[in-house]
Amino acid sequence: MLGEVVRRITGQLPGAYFRTVIGDPLGLRAWIGLPAAELPTLARLEGPRGGRRRWILSTC
């Protein structure tokens, strides 16, 4: 619901709004909905056995 409010007020999707208002000015590489072009930069983290798989963006 909040996403629809953001879209109606700004005309942007929530991810685009976050990027232009918060992410870009702070130099963050963060997304709401990861672009397909960023998938190759993901690194897999290994946790304890039986734990959940987690993914992070590599900093390399």
pLDDT in tens, 17-51: 988 998 899 998 877 777 888 888 888 776 666 66
Q: What three-state secondary structure class fits 42?
A: strand
The overall pTM is greater than 0.85: no
pLDDT at 38: 83
**Whether the predicted pLDDT of 1 surpasses 80:** yes
Please compute the mean of the pLDDT values over residues 5-11 and round it to a whole number: 94
Q: Are 7 and 18 in contact (CB under 8 A)?
A: no
**Could you identify the residue written with the tokens 């946790």?**
47
